[in-house]
Amino acid sequence: MADTEREFAKAASFLKQARRVAVLTGAGVSAESGVPTFRAADGLWEGHRIEDVATPQGFARNPDLVWRFYNERRANVAKVAPNPGHEALVKLEQRSGEFTLITQNVDGLHLVAGSKNVLEIHGSLRQTRCLGCAEVVDRGLAELGPKPLCPSCGARLRPHIVWFGEGLPEDVWQASFRAAAACDVFLVVGTSAVVHPAASLIPIARGEAGFDRVPAIVIECNLTRTEASSYADVTLLGPSGVTLPRLLELVEQPI
Ligand code: OAD
């Protein structure tokens, strides 16, 4: 058996034995759908100052610019569809006992694909939050214009996205923490694992950095090695639209 096939077989056998599976995904899982990642040479942050478009201070200074940026992202996401990587995760959920999909992505493609137990820890491009009454509303991906206002109270709306310098929604973070702390296998897909606290879920799953637990098995799927790789028991290198379906195929094979 070639080395790569041995790694796939090892990962599949861990997943077959797992009762509780948690998954952390990042922009890489949507790359093959045509959604730009953040930190590539042509990534989303290229050409944008993060402090202008992804901080509360940037929004306070120039909300029109921020809404232009997010309306453009919303329009781009409206044109794309889930890829075989998203679909493999739907099937993995269907055959797993407990399954939690924690995603840093705001494109909603896991939900569109059909994943059920999804925690969108950085929010969603489809949702707005009112700066007056704090109501969060799902608006799909229709154009919202440069100055959307709350239909309930008339105050200004902002994207329901976690910006730099902001905390994650407490309930979503607690649920993610519990899933990472209790899983048997933690699958880390398409993330550079440099943004915290999302990336801290990996040492939490491993029982490291002060989190006392029997370590989960960590399986990483990425094009390259990342900050997560030193925690990984198995690293499957390649596009997740190829590696995840291959992994699922092996998991579904009878023993
Ligand atoms: P990054 O752009 O930092 O990393 C994307 C990762 O996906 C890299 O490690 C790539 O090697 C990998 N990758 C690219 N294409 C892939 C493919 N086809 N298959 C598998 N892996 C692939 O994106 P994130 O790690 O998601 O936060 O970034 C985390 C957070 O940083 C984002 O949620 C966003 C950003 O600031 C907010 O906006 C709040």
Catalytic residue among 86, 110, 122, 160: 122
- Parent domain of 157: 44-79+129-161
Nearest CA to ligand 1 atom 15: 28
What spacing in Å lies between the alpha carbon of 254 and ligand 1's midpoint?
A: 33
Number of domains in the chain: 2
According to the model, what pLDDT value does residue 155 have? 96
Answer yes or no: do 90 and 50 share one domain: no
Is residue 42 scored above 90 in pLDDT?
no
Give domain status of residue 207, yes or no: yes
CATH number at residue 64: 3.30.1600.10
Mutate to test the pocket of ligand 1, among 25, 33, 38, 53 (most ligand atoms within 8 A of CB): 38
Share of the chain above pLDDT 70, in %: 99
Is residue 20 scored above 90 in pLDDT?
yes
Residue of 10, 9, 8, 11 lying closest to 21 (CA atoms): 11
Give domain status of residue 103, yes or no: yes
Dihedral of alpha carbons 47, 227, 211, 27, sign = positive
Give domain status of residue 39, yes or no: no
The DSSP bridge pattern shows strands 98-103 and 20-25 to be parallel
Mean pLDDT of the chain: 94
Q: Average pLDDT in the 52-81 region?
A: 94
According to the model, what pLDDT value does residue 45 have? 72
Q: Average pLDDT in the 70-91 region?
A: 96
List the structure tokens of 47: 């050409």
48 has catalytic annotation? no
Answer yes or no: do 97 and 24 share one domain: yes
Answer yes or no: do 150 and 205 share one domain: no
Share of the chain above pLDDT 90, in %: 87
Nearest CA to ligand 1 atom 8: 192
Answer yes or no: do 198 and 231 share one domain: yes
Cα(249)–Cα(12) distance, rounded to whole angstroms? 9
The single-letter DSSP state of residue 163 is P
Answer yes or no: do 63 and 75 share one domain: yes
Q: Average pLDDT in the 155-179 region?
A: 96
Is residue 143 scored above 90 in pLDDT?
no
Ligand 1 site, CB within 6 A: 26-28, 31-32, 37-39, 43, 54, 104, 122, 162, 190-192, 195, 221-224, 226, 239-240
Answer yes or no: do 216 and 146 share one domain: no
Is residue 239 scored above 80 in pLDDT?
yes
Cα(77)–Cα(72) distance, rounded to whole angstroms? 9
